[in-house]
Chain A
């Protein structure tokens, strides 16, 4: 199946700094990618839909100025958590569609810890 890769897999940062997470489709082109956030013992919460070459679409309650999404190429979407605070500590997961059957493939996730 298609492979979606995230980097870094984990990151620790100080409060007030910004952190960038990359999501790559390794063997296919993805015009649309999705970003999720997951807190401990909870389900995945969709944050935004990332569209190549255009602005991302954010879910209700997600601050677009806080979570900057850039989808500059058909294989790369980035999520930047700006001015991170401890409450932003979470597991961030991206996903993208494979090119044929409508299956949605997920990255390995990136665990962010803000001190």
Chain B
């Protein structure tokens, strides 16, 4: 699986959009970009994933650059409950493939 690079931490004002970047310059053509988050002392929570098109769901939007070497997770209106560690992972979306976590980004939403 390709490696990812994320900033170690970010701050965001409550109510504003949180934009979390991720670099994955060695991504392969069949690897998807996945985002998970982990709130303190809980298991990781799936947020969103995509291959090359931008994706949106009820939680977030995922913007993937045309060359697929980087992506941005957007939380449109961050709340205090969005404070968590956010993990960007690239992997082949095949059943049974393991997920390897990097260090992630600590997002602190402040009032």
Contacts and interface: CB of A to CB of B under 8 A. Distances in A.
Is A bound to B? yes
Interface of A: 1, 4, 6, 31-32, 34, 36, 43-46, 49, 91, 93, 95, 97, 102-109, 111
Interface string B61-97: 0000000000000000000000001010000011110
Nearest to A45: B101
B interface: dominant SS: loop
A44 B41 contact: no
Contacts of B98: 34, 46, 49
B93 A106 contact: no
B44 A106 contact: yes
Interface in B18-74: 32, 36, 38, 41-46, 49
Contacts of A46: 98-101
Contacts of A105: 46
Contact of B95 (A1, A32, A36, A108): A32
A32 B99 CA distance: 12
Interface of B: 32, 36, 38, 41-46, 49, 85, 87, 93-96, 98-104
Given A34-B99, A97-B95, A108-B43, 8 more contacts: A43-B85, A43-B103, A46-B101, A49-B98, A95-B99, A102-B49, A102-B94, A104-B99
A107 B43 contact: yes
A45 B104 CA distance: 13
Given A108-B42, A109-B43, A103 B101 contact: no
26 contacts: A4-B43, A32-B95, A32-B96, A34-B99, A43-B85, A43-B103, A44-B44, A45-B101, A46-B99, A46-B100, A49-B96, A91-B41, A93-B43, A95-B43, A95-B99, A97-B95, A102-B49, A102-B95, A103-B49, A104-B99, A105-B46, A106-B44, A106-B46, A107-B43, A109-B42, A111-B41
